[in-house]
Amino acid sequence: MRVIGIDAGSKEKLVRECGAEHFIDVTKHDDKSIVEEVMKAADGRGASAVIVCTASNKAYGQAVDMLRFGGTVVCVGIPEGTPEPIGTAFPAKLIFKSATIASVAVGTRRDAIEVMDFAARGEALLDIHTGE
């Protein structure tokens, strides 16, 4: 399995440090070309999973097209603004790709306390960034 990171070019170093083998600068692509880049990086078959961590409705709209047969879109980021449906999640496309859309709750208050305790014991390596 390969990790493909997609973000603004200014975040490439961080994305690669987090384990991405490939990096795609979202600011240099339109909807079609970004999907083509993912396909190339994923041996022409598409991604097994697309984990959408951003608050961008556009990213959710691109995610389904990036999947390979049997792939999964994992919804983590909560989109900003007015709620919108995932623009490319047409039933026929999902069926033909045998695709799944799943969601993940970021965590509970208890999870946050456990993570902070873990970090306080020095057992976590944290890289914290604020702002855009």
What is the tens place of the pLDDT at every residue in 33-89?
999 999 999 999 999 999 998 888 889 989 999 999 999 999 988 887 888 888 888
Q: Is the pTM of this model over 0.95?
A: no
Q: Which two tokens stand for residue 107?
A: 């965590």
C-alpha 119/C-alpha 78 separation (Å) is 26
Residues 99/71, Cβ–Cβ less than 8 Å: yes
